[in-house]
Amino acid sequence: MQARLRRPGAVILAVALALAALLILFATVDREEMEAILRESQEPYLTLYSLLAGCGPMRPGEALGLDIRAIYPDFRTLDIVQKAKRGELQDYMKTKNADSKHGRVVDLSVALATLLREFVGARRSGLVFCKHDGSQLMQRDILKYSLHPILKKLALEQGGLNIFRRFRITTMETAEVPQALQHTWSGHARTHVSEVYKKLLKQREWRLGWAERAGMGFSLPERKNPRNAQLAQLIEFRNVG
């Protein structure tokens, strides 16, 4: 009898937890909130968040699995060929279209490409975002040591790294980026693409033009000497383990 009386309370708790999880899953931010998050962010998180919110959109695992060798010489195009997941690098994507072998590339605006170039510095290989020993950066550490404390400080709704992806999708829609190009950048399965767009999607200059026209959707905060970015990254990871 006593167990039965407790059951409604357990159901309510389960529902509350499920709703909280949904709120985190679908949390999003606007331009003002995005810029506030970036102002509070230190490297390597500033560049990571800017990349997730300012191009693609890329999935968090794709950004964390990005190898420097997958970046074009001018830093304006990225080949998406692997993703980082639970300490492993996987050379397959979430969907069959989310792979550069199927035409998946992500193009960057000039401002974002400049930020990425400065962050990478003189490195020529290895993960773009990594610990001081070159190992994979874990999403749970990013949330624990950076994003969640920042969201709490700014009194913003708690969310995961997908808040940046949703922000980017909204930016592309607002900029009226062609749907075919949105699907190419996002890695979503395409239903029907006209022959005209099939040819245009293969033209890098056309894609770069749209990347510049759409922009990032936010302004980057004023930064200190960008040459110190890698030093700050190493110090950060030594402090948090």
**DSSP single-letter state for residue 127:** B
Range of the domain at 46: 28-240
202-212 pLDDT per residue, tens:
899 999 999 99
The answer to whether residue 158 sits within a structural domain is yes
Q: Which residues 6+ apart lie within 8 Å of 204 measured at CB?
A: 77, 107
pLDDT tier at 24 (50, 70, 90 boundaries)? very low
Between CA 115 and CA 105 the distance in angstroms is 19
* Mean pLDDT score across all residues of the chain: 82
Between the CA atoms of 147, 149, 155 and 161, what dihedral angle is there, to the nearest 10 degrees? Answer: 20
- What is the model's pLDDT at position 87? 84
Task: State the pLDDT confidence band at 226, using cuts at 50, 70 and 90.
Answer: low
Domain-located, residue 119? yes
Rounded Cα distance between 207 and 39, Å, is 29
Cβ neighbors of 183 (< 8 A, separation 6 or more) are: 97, 189, 190, 193
Domain count, the chain: 1
Closest listed residue to residue 119, CA positions, set 49, 196, 61:
49
pTM summary value:
0.80
Give the pLDDT band (50/70/90) at residue 191: low
In a domain, 9, yes or no: no
Work out the pLDDT band at 193, boundaries 50, 70, 90.
low
DSSP 3-state percent helix, strand, coil across the chain (nearest 5): 55, 5, 35
Structure tokens at 232: 């700050």
DSSP H/E element including 229: helix 229-240
Residue 208, C-beta contacts closer than 8 angstroms, at least 6 positions apart: 76, 77, 107
Least Cα distance to 179 among 166, 195, 192 occurs for 192
| Strand-strand pairing, 77-79 and 83-85 | unpaired
Closest CA to 233 of 119, 144, 141, 86: 119
User: What is the C-alpha separation between 29 and 34, in angstroms, rounded?
Assistant: 6
Please indicate, yes or no, if residue 112 is contained in any of the structural domains: yes
Residue written as token pair 């990347």 = 211
Residue 89 phi/psi, 5° resolution? Answer: -105, 125
Between CA 172 and CA 217 the distance in angstroms is: 9
| Residue range 62-119, pLDDT digits in tens | 999 999 999 999 999 999 989 998 888 888 655 555 555 544 899 999 999 999 999 9
- Answer whether residue 224 shows pLDDT above 90: no
CATH number where 33 lies: 1.10.443
